[in-house]
Structures are given as C-alpha cells and as structure tokens.
Amino acid sequence: MSFFDLDFWVGVGIVAGIYGIFTLGLQLNVGFTGLINLGQAGFMCVGAYAMGMLVVDAGWPLGLAFPAAIVIAVAAGALVGLASLRLRADYFGIVTIAFSEIVRYVFQNAAFAGGNQGIIGYDAEWRAFQSWASERLAAIGLGEAAEVPLLVAVWATLLLCLAALRALQLSPWGRVLKAIREDEDAAAALGKNVFAFKLQSLGIAAALATIAGFFLAMNVTYLYPSEFDPSFTFFGYAVLILGGFASYGGVVVGAVLLCALTEGLRFLDLPLSAGQAGSLRFIIVGLILICLSMFRPQGLLGSKAEMQLRA
C-alpha cells in the first residue's frame, strides 16, 4: 500500500505536463487575448488524429507527421477563427465547443479515421526512442520506471513552450495581444488589426493543443475519440483558474497541483463503496473550482490588481 510509488507519480507528472502544454494554449487565448476558446480539445483531436493517420495510413515517419499535424491543426484553428471570431465572446465560445463535438463525432463515425475502432500503431518510432533512452537512463540509475523518457520529453517541451510564450508576451506582439484583451476598439483605433491577432492567437493555441495531443497519444498508445471529450477542456480551465489568470507560470503550477490532487485522491481510503469514492473525488474537484473562482479569482499566481482593474 505505498502512496509513494514511482511509476504512479511519473505517470501523474506526464499527465500534468500534457495538461500544462494544453492549458498554455488556453491561457494565450483566455488570459492574454480575451477569447473564450471552449474547443481546445477539438484542436487536440484534429492534431493527434492527423499525426496518427499520417503515420499509420500514409506511412509517414513520425518526425514528418508531427509537424504536419501541427500545420493541419493550425489550419483548422484559422478556419474556425475566420468563421466565428467576429461573434460576441460567449457566442464564440459556444461555436468552438460545437466544433470540438463535431470533430469528435466525425472521427468516431468516419470510416477513414478507423471509425470507433480508433487508431493504433503510430508510436513504433517513439517506442524505439523510448527504449533507447531507457537504457541511457538506466546507465545513470534512473531506469526504474519505464515512462521516464516520456516524462522528460513532455516537461522539456512544456518548459520550452512556456519560455517561448513568455518571451512572446514581453514582445510588442504580446503587448498588442494584451491591449486587444483590454479593449478591442481602442486597439483598433491605434491601427492594430484585431482580427489578425485573434486568428494568430487561436492558431498558436491549436498548435499547442496538437503538441499536447502528441504526448497524450504516446502516453496511451491508442487514439480513440473519447480521449478528446469537452471535459478535457473543462479540466484545462480548472488548471488555468487554479494557476492564475493571465499567468503562464501559473499554468504549470496549476497543472501539477490539480493533477497531483485528483490522482492523489485515488488513495483516499474511506469506508465507502468504490462508486462513492469515485464520486467524492469529483465533488472535491468541483468544490475547489467553485471556491477558487469565487474567493480567489486571480488564482495562485495571477495578479489581483489586474483582475480588479479589468472587472
């Protein structure tokens, strides 16, 4: 009965990293551009499936299929953006969630995507890299858990994306983005093409969703539509609000804390039936979401001043 099982917590670290990359995209949209993107899971689905189908059906090497999948997902993001970015913020949110549901149903029913049999066999090259890396790690004593290479790869990518987004945020481009979040009309009056910036923000979010989708696909080794359920996006929002509004660093902290909490609750040993324990886990996550949003809306690392100035 060991709570501190290495395999388990390496697994939690991987999931936290995947949610981190996924939510960086959300943060760019919500925290820095003012777009309520409810379809991030849909972009992840497009990206992951594109990568899977290119490798399995078209026989592409992973090294080519993955960047191509990012391009395809960004194109999907641009398409959604072109169609709906002129809508009011909450309408835009509803269009994006409808988009992500349509994508999920298409991949569940369309014959070309393996129907609801899903896609398997795209991770051969990754498995080879993983075993090669495991030997290297074993040589330096880290060979215990099989998934450490995936953990290292996920977190290296997450920190890279974090640094890139932070640099972008400090750049003039980031400044305009934040101005658009503050007041679109004023930004337009200063000559900023608001629509183009929103489109770029959505496109980058789609790319980040694809990167998260890539690692999710490698983690579960099988692409299946229910992995890209809207609840994935909702959990991403919980990570965002826990970490802190308009704070990229907060996303990483939020992802680690929330994943550690929800997975750690699996060890909660109460005299309850399995079903009740399962429900309790989610009740606790739900209550945290409510209390955070009510009493600490800026989350852990968000700035309270900015929140108040904007409200």
Interaction between residue 121 and other proteins (CB under 8 A): yes
Q: Please name which of 28, 70, 29, 78 lies closest in space to residue 48, comparing C-alpha atoms.
A: 70
Tokens, residue 239: 């990570």
Question: Which residue bears the tokens 């999920």?
Answer: 104
Number of residues that bind other proteins (CB under 8 A): 110
Please choose, out of 46-54, 56-64, 82-90, 250-258, the segment that lies near other proteins by the rule CB under 8 A: 82-90
Beta partners for residue 222, in sequence order: 120
Nearer to other proteins, 112 or 221 (CB): 221
Cβ distance 113 to 49 under 8 Å? yes
Angle CA 143–148–151, to nearest 5: 170
Residue 120 in 3-state DSSP? strand
Give the shortest CB-293-to-other proteins separation in angstroms. 5
Please, which residues have CB within 8 angstroms of residue 168's CB and are 6 or more apart in sequence?
174
Contact positions with other proteins (CB under 8 A) in 202-261: 216, 219-222, 224, 226-227, 229, 231, 234, 237-238, 241, 245
Interface with other proteins (CB under 8 A), residue from 58, 64, 79, 83: 83
Interface with other proteins (CB under 8 A), residue from 57, 58, 116, 163: 116
CB atoms within 10 A of CB 56: 18
Tokens, residue 33: 């551009």
Please choose, out of 45-53, 55-63, 85-93, 151-159, the segment that lies near other proteins by the rule CB under 8 A: 85-93
Cβ distance 268 to 88 under 8 Å? no
Site mask for other proteins (CB under 8 A), range 130-169, x = bound: ----------------xx--------------------x-
Interface with other proteins (CB under 8 A), residue from 137, 257, 260, 293: 293
Contact positions with other proteins (CB under 8 A) in 18-77: 18, 30, 34, 36
Interaction between residue 128 and other proteins (CB under 8 A): no
Interaction between residue 184 and other proteins (CB under 8 A): yes
Interface with other proteins (CB under 8 A), residue from 59, 63, 141, 271: 271
DSSP characters for 64-80? HHHHHHHHHHHHHHHHH
Interaction between residue 304 and other proteins (CB under 8 A): no
Nearer to other proteins, 140 or 273 (CB): 273
Nearer to other proteins, 26 or 253 (CB): 26
Q: Please name which of 305, 240, 211 lies closest in space to residue 31, comparing C-alpha atoms.
A: 240
Cβ distance 37 to 205 under 8 Å? yes
Specify the length of the chain in residues. 311
Interaction between residue 120 and other proteins (CB under 8 A): yes
